Structure 1
Amino acid sequence: MFFSPRLRWALTALLAASKTARTESLADIDHVILFMQENRAFDHYFGTMPGVRGFADPNVQYNNGIPVWKQQVTSQQSKDTDYITPWYINYLGGTWPEATQCMSAGSNGWDANQAAWNHGANNQWAVKNTPYSIGYYKRDDLPVHFALAEEWTVGDMYQESVIASTNPNRVMWISGSINVPGSPQTKDEGGYPYIDNNETPGCDKNGINCYPLKWSTAAEKYEAAGVSWSVFQDADNFDDNPYAWFEQFQDSKTGSGLNKKGMKGQSLDAFYAQAAAGTLPEVSYIVGPMQLSEHPPYSPHDGSWLQRKVAEAVINSPKYSKSVLIISYDETGGWADHVSPYTSPDGTAGEWIDDPYGAAGRTATGPGFRVPFYIISPFTRKGGVYTEHADHTSQVSFIEKWQAAKGRDVTTDEMVPWRRENMADLVNAFDFKNPDYSIPNLPEAPQPHTNSKGVYDGSSYCSSQYGNGRPPVPYTGVGANNDTASLAEAGFKPVRGLLTEGRTLVLESSGQAVSATSYSSKVSLGKASKNHDNMQHGWVLHALEIGGDQFTISSANNGQYICKNLKLCKDSGSATVFVVDFKPSQGHSFKDQKSGEYLASGRKEKLGWQKSQAFWKVFSVTY
C-alpha cells in the first residue's frame, strides 16, 4: 500500500502529534523485521559516504610504514607498481555503470578471506583474493542504499560473524554459534566448526562442517516463550533460510510451529499484506530471491528494488511507529574492507582454531570484515552513524533485550560467550525520547529485468549485454588513486553508540565546540559551525585497546594531543586518557581517567572539568 505525498504528510503529522504526550521505550516496539542480503563489504558500498569510517579514516592501519590502502600486488599482476589502492569500479564511464552491476570480485570462502586478512595485516586482498576485490561504488551507483542508510541510522562497525561464506554467517545470525570447539555445544551437535557451505549429511574428511546442525536456535526460544515469528520467503529463496539447515526443523511435523514458520514460512506477498494491515508477527525474517540477493553477479540495482519494496512496506504500515527494520549482509562476497576485524584474544573458547585446511595456521574464526548495516525505525530516523562493535549475534541480542523489556525471557544459552560480552546489542542506536515519525521520499529503483515468463533474470540479461562486467584493473594511470582520503564525500553525521576509532569527531555543547586553534597552546571552546566543518574543531580518538572505552585524543587540525590541564602537546605518551561513555538521548561523556572529572562546557563559555557527568553532542565529519 502506498499513500499519496499529501496523505502521507497528514498521517505523519497526526502520528507525531499523538506521541508528544508520552515517552517511548524499547518495550513499545511490537515488530522487528530482520532482512539479510548477500555478499557485499562496507567499503565496497559505503567507503565514500561522509561521516562514517570509510576512505577518510584518520586511524588507518599501517604495516611497516605502509597504509593498508596500499594492497600488495605481484609482478605478474603489474610490472609498474607494487601496490593497488581502492579504485572506482566505473572509472571508465560509458556503459560501465550498467556492466559492473553484474560483475564479481573474488572468493567469499574461508581460505581466500583468511589469506587476505593475513593474521591482521589485512594487506593481501589483491594477491590472495583478486584486484577486483578493492573496487568500490559511489552514491550515484547505489542511490537507494545510500538513502536508506542516511535517512535512518547506518552502522559502520558491524562485522560479518565469520571470516567465511554464507552458511556459517547465517547460522550465527539465528543461533549465535557455529560450534567452534569450546562453544556451548557438544561435538555431536554438528559443525565443529561449521565454516563452509556444506549441506551434505555427515562431516568433511577432516571432521568439520558436520551436517545437519542440531543445537537450539533463536526461533525455538521465541516459540517456547509465545513470541510470534515467521520466515518470509518465496519458492526461490537462494537456499538462504538458515533454519532449513537444522535437523529439528528438517524433521519437524507438518503444521508444527517449526515447520510452518521456519521451514515453509510465508511468501513475500504475505509480508507486504501483513505489513499493510499492521498484522506482522513480532519477529520476521526476510529471505529474498536469488536474483535480488545482491550476491555477485546479481546486481545491487535489483537488490535495491527489493530493499525499497520492503522498506516502503514497513514505513507505510500503520504499525511503523512500533516497528524496527534491520538490513544487513551476511558476508563480504570477496570484496575488501580496510578495517582489520576486531577479534577475541587467541585462545578464547569457541573462537580460535588451528586452520583445518592447513593454510592459515592458528586463526580466529571471526568476527570478520565489515558489511553494510542500517536500521529503519522512527527511533533511528536521522540518527547518523552507530559506531559500536557489532556482528550478526547483535541482532539476536537485540531481540533478547527487547523481549526482556516486555517481560519475556528468550535468552539463548547457545551464543559464544565472547560475542555476548563484546558485540553490541544495538540498543544504543535508538533514541526513544526523541522519535522522528517523518517519512522521506526514497529514490526510485528500476524494476528488475524478467524473461518472457516473468522470472527474474537480471544477471543473465546483464551478462548477455556486457559480458562479465569487469573493467581493466587500474594499477596505474587513469582510474588509479594516490589519495584515498579524497575519495570520501564531505559531510557529517551525528554519532550514536559507544565510540570506536576511525572518524574525525566534533564535540559540541550549547553552540560551542571543543577547539584547537593556532593561537593557543590550550584546548578551548569556539563557536560551532553549522555543518561542523571547521577543522579546528576536529578530533581523532586513539584507543588504548580495541574494544575498550579508554582513548587519547588528538587534534585533526595540528596533530597535537589533549594533555594535562587541557594543554596541547606532541607527546602521545603524555596525553590525557579519557574514559568515554554514551547514553541515548543525552550524548557522550569524556572522563579524565586520573581525576575522575568530566570534560565540560562551563560558565562564560570556558572549557573545564566538573565532577558530575557532562554530555556532548558528537558529530563525525569528513572534510
Structure 2
Amino acid sequence: MTRIFLALALACPVISAAAAAAAPHDTCGNSGNSGNHQNKAPSTDDDLWSFIKEKIKTVVVIVEENRSFDHMVGQFDYSPEIQGIAHMEFCNPLNLSDPNSPQVCSKPIAMNVQPDNPEYGTTDDMYSIFGTFAPTPEEMKTPKMNGFVSRQNLAYGGGENVAREAIDGFSIDHVPIQYTLAKDNALVDEWYAAGPITTKPNRAFLVSGTSLGHGSNDNSFFTYTNQVKGFNNTSMFEVMSKNNITWNHYYWGEESDAMYYYWVQTNANERMIHGSQFFADAENGNLPQFVYLYPECCSYDSFHPPSPIDRGEEFLRQVYNALRSSPQWDEILFVVTYDEHGGFADHMPIKPAPPPDNYTYTSTAVNGQNFTYNFDTTGVRVPTYLISPWIQSQQVIHNGVQPEPDSVLTHTSILAFLAKLWDLPELVLTRRVEWSSTFENVFAAKKYENKVPYIPAQSYDWGNVKDFWSTYTGPW
C-alpha cells in the first residue's frame, strides 16, 4: 500500500519584478532539480523508482484554498534558492491606466482575516497577469504580473491602503506552521495552479487532468447541497478503484472533489468519509494507500478568505501531527498544495501549457469584454510542500523531473507522479498530465529520524482579531 503527502518552497537573489517576468523559467539560473540535496537517492531512474516504491506506501494530499506563493510564503528566506520576495522589491502600479501611477510594493503586513477578498476568475486573472481583461494571443506571450493591485483598486476603491491587500503577504511569524513544514522538508517554489480558473475547475484538473471546459464554480460541480449528477469523464478515483489501489476522501464541509464524477457517485460513495475519521485512522494505522483531504471551505480552516490564517495553520498542524504520530509515518508522503492564488499577487510569470482537450471557456469581464481561454497556460504560482521522513530538510524544488523541455510542476503533476509510483499509465488521463513534471528527485537514500516529532499549538499576535471578525462584511 502507498500513502503520499506534498510540500514545496524556494528562494532567489534580489532581482527586479521585470527581470523575473522576463526569465523563461528559474530566475536563480538553476536547472530546477533540487537544492541542498546532499544524500541523493539512487542515481539511475530504475533504481530511484525501486527505492521510492519500496519506501512510500501511503500518499496523502491536502488542497488548501486561494493563496499565492509570494502572498503566503514569499518571505521564507532559510535558503538562498527560494524564489520569493524576501530579498527583492515586488511592486504593482496602483492604476494601470495611469502612466504616472504610484507604485504599491509588497510588505509582510497582511491581516489574519482578509478585509477585502481580491477579485479572481479568468478575466480578472487576465487583468492581473497581462494588464487587460481580454489579452490577445500576442499579449499572452508576455505575462507582466503587474495588475493585481490595480484590479483590487478597481474593485474596491479606497486608494493604496485597500489596494495593497492584494500584494501584501505574511511574515514568517504569521505562518509558523507552514514555515516549519517547509524548512523541515521540501518547498516547491515553481508549482503552478492548473489555469487562471477558479477553485472547482482547478481541483478537477488535479484529480482528472481536465475541467471539461469549466472555468468557474458553476452548478455543474457536485456539492452535498446541490447533489447534481457528476461528470462522465474518468477521474483518479475510478482508476484507483479499478486497479485495487485503496483510497479515502475525507471531507470537513459540503465539498467533495471525488463526487464531481458520476462513476464515484454510483460506485464509491462509501469512500467519502467525514474528516473526524481521518484522525482515528491515522492514529490506528488504518490509512489507505491514497488519502485525499478537503478542509472546511470557506470560513474557517482552508485559508480561503475570510478564513483566519491562524485557523488554517492550526488545522494543518493537527493534520501533520496526526500523520507524524501515526504508525504509518515511515511510509508516508504528504503533499500540501493550494488550489489557486485567489487574486493575490505573485511575481513569477505563469507558464505555457498544453490544453488537456479541445474545450474552451468564454467569460465576460466587468467592463463587458468577452475573453475565450483555451486552457493553454498554467495558473498563478501557489505554495506546495513535500513532506516525508525520506525527504531531506531545507530542500527547494524548482521544475522537478521534466518529461519535456518546457514542463513544470503543476496540479496534474500529482497524477503524473502517481502513475509512475503505482505503474498505472491509466492515470495519465490527458495530454496535460503527460506533459507535467514529477517530483521523484526530492527523495533521499536515507530516512531522516530527526523530523519535527510534534508541532505545539502556536500563539499569534494579530491585534484585535475577534472584534474585526464580528463586524466582517466583505465578500465570501
TM-score range, shorter chain: 0.7 to 0.9
Task: Supply the distance in 1 between the matched residues of 2:179 and 2:123 (Cα, whole angstroms).
Answer: 31
Q: Secondary structure at the match of 2:66?
A: coil
**Structure 2: gaps of 5 or more residues:** 1-47, 131-139, 154-162, 223-227, 400-407
Once the 2 structures are TM-superposed, how far is the Cα of residue 342 of structure 1 from its aligned partner? 1.3
Answer yes or no: is the 8 Å Cα contact 1:43–1:136 preserved in 2: yes
Over 3 Å counting, the alpha-carbon distance change for 1:157 and 1:413 in structure 2 is: closer
Aligned with 2:439 (options 426, 444, 447): 426
Q: Give the Cα–Cα distance (whole angstroms) in 1 for the partners of residues 304 and 425 of structure 2.
A: 32
Q: Percent identity?
A: 20
**Per the alignment, in what secondary structure is the counterpart of residue 221 of structure 1?**
helix
- Cα deviation digits, residues 577-610 of structure 1 (max 9, x gap): xxxxxxxxxxxxxxxxxxxxxxxxxxxxxxxxxx
Q: How far apart, CA to CA, are the structure 2 residues paired with 1:177 and 1:363?
A: 12
- Which one of the candidate residues 75, 94, 97 is aligned to 1:73? 94
Residue 172 of structure 1: which of 195, 205, 208 is its match? 205
For residue 196 of structure 1, the aligned residue among 207, 211, 216 is: 216
Match among 287, 301, 315 for residue 310 of structure 2 = 301
Residues 1:352 and 1:259: Cα distance change in structure 2 (over 3 Å): closer
The answer as to whether partners of 1:115 and 1:360 remain within 8 angstroms in 2 is no
> Does the 8 A contact of 2:66 with 2:338 survive in 1?
yes
Which of 431, 437, 449 is the aligned partner of 2:449?
437
Asked if residue 153 in structure 1 is aligned to residue 192 in structure 2, the reply is: no
Cα deviation code 1:322-348 (max 9, x no counterpart): 111111110111111111111137xx5
- Indicate yes or no: 2:468 matched with 1:463: yes
Moved over 6 A (4+): none
Call closer, same or farther: CA 1:266–1:116 in 2, change over 3 Å: same
1:114 aligns with 2:126: yes
- For the 8 Å contact 2:333–2:388, the answer to whether it is kept is yes
Q: Is residue 2:259 matched to residue 1:220?
A: no
Query: The residue matched to 1:49 in structure 2 has which SS?
Result: coil
In 1: Cα distance, 2:179 partner to 2:471 partner: 25
Partners of 1:144 and 1:445 within 8 A in 2? no
Could you tell me whether the CA contact under 8 Å between 1:102 and 1:462 is conserved in 2?
A: no
Shift of 1:213: 2.0
- Alpha-carbon shift at residue 34 of structure 1 (Å): 0.7
SS of match in other structure, 1:308? helix
Q: Does 1:31 align with 2:33?
A: no
Q: For 1:296 and 1:201, how far apart are their aligned partners in 2?
A: 21
For 1:75 and 1:231, locate their aligned partners in 2 and report how far apart those are by CA, in whole Å. Answer: 43
**Whole-angstrom distance in 2 between the partners of 1:122 and 1:363:** 19
Offset at residue 177 of structure 1 (A): 1.0
CA positional deviation for 1:303: 0.8
> Partner letter of residue 441 of structure 2?
N
Aligned to 2:25: none
Amino acid across the alignment from 1:242: D
Point out which structure has higher relative CO (alpha carbons under 8 A, 6+ apart).
Answer: 2
Q: Distance in 2 between matches of 1:266 and 1:75?
A: 47
Give the match for residue 276 of structure 2. Answer: 269
Distance 1:133 1:325, change over 3 A: same
Aligned-partner SS, 2:180: helix
Does structure 2 retain, via aligned residues, the 8 Å contact 1:112–1:129? no
The answer to whether 1:55 aligns with 2:55 is no
Which of 429, 434, 441 is the aligned partner of 1:414? 429
The answer on whether the counterparts of 1:144 and 1:444 sit within 8 Å (CA) in structure 2 is no
Listed as ranges, the matches of 1:123-522 within 5 Å are 123-130=146-153, 131=163, 132-179=165-212, 193-200=213-220, 212-234=230-252, 237-239=253-255, 241-250=256-265, 252=266, 256=267, 258-261=268-271, 265-290=272-297, 291-344=300-353, 350=357, 353=360, 355-357=362-364, 358-360=369-371, 364-388=375-399, 389-404=408-423, 409=424, 411-415=426-430, 417-421=431-435, 423-431=436-444, 433-440=445-452, 443-445=455-457, 461=466, 463-465=468-470, 467=472
Aligned to 2:36: none
Structure 1 residues not aligned, in runs of 5+: 1-22, 59-66, 91-98, 180-192, 203-209, 449-458, 471-623
SS of the counterpart of 1:88? Answer: coil
Secondary structure of the 2:307 match is coil
Separation in structure 1 between the aligned mates of residue 362 and residue 92 of structure 2, nearest angstrom: 24
Shift of 1:354: 7.2
TM-score (norm 1): 0.56
104, 114, 121: which one aligns with 1:84: 104
Question: What is the CA distance between 1:430 and its match in structure 2?
Answer: 1.5
Shift of the 75–41 alpha-carbon distance from structure 1 to 2, 3 Å rule, reads closer
Distance 1:200 1:344, change over 3 A: closer
Q: Does the Cα contact within 8 Å between 1:354 and 1:361 map onto a contact in 2?
A: yes
Give a deviation string over 1:41-87, Cα, whole Å, max 9, x none.
100011111131011578xxxxxxxx9x33122299x9984321212
Q: Which moved more, 1:113-122 or 1:167-176?
A: 113-122
Structure richer in strand, relative to its length: 1
Matches of 2:328 and 2:353 in 1, distance apart? Answer: 39
Give 3-state SS (helix, strand or coil) of 2:427's partner.
coil
8 Å contact 1:225–1:410 — kept in the other structure?
no
What amino acid is the match of 1:378?
P
Within 2, Cα distance between the matches of 1:80 and 1:117? 20
**3-state SS of paired residue (1:411):** helix
**SS of equivalent residue, structure 2 residue 273:** coil
Q: Distance in 2 between matches of 1:444 and 1:387?
A: 30
Match of 1:43 among 61, 65, 70: 70
SS at match of 1:101: coil
Q: For residues 151 and 248 of structure 1, do their structure 2 counterparts lie closer, same or farther at Cα, with a shift above 3 Å needed?
A: same
Alpha-carbon deviations, 1:184-224, whole Å to 9, x = none? xxxxxxxxx1111012489xxxxxxx984220000111100
SS in 2 for 1:84: strand
What is the CA–CA distance in structure 2 between the aligned matches of 1:287 and 1:344, rounded to whole Å? Answer: 26
108-117 or 143-152, larger mean C-alpha shift: 108-117
1:260 counterpart letter in structure 2: E
**Structure 2: distance between partners of 1:79 and 1:468:** 33
Partner SS, residue 25 of structure 1: helix
Q: CA deviation at 1:445?
A: 3.3
Alpha-carbon displacement from aligned partner over 1:462-488 (angstroms, at most 9, x marks no partner): 634564699xxxxxxxxxxxxxxxxxx
CA 1:308–1:360: 2 relative to 1, 3 Å: same
Question: What are the superposed Cα offsets for residues 298-328 of structure 1, whole Å, 9 maximum, x if unpaired?
Answer: 0111011111111111111111111111111
Q: CA deviation at 1:125?
A: 1.0
Map 1:13-28 to 2 at 5 A: 25-28=51-54
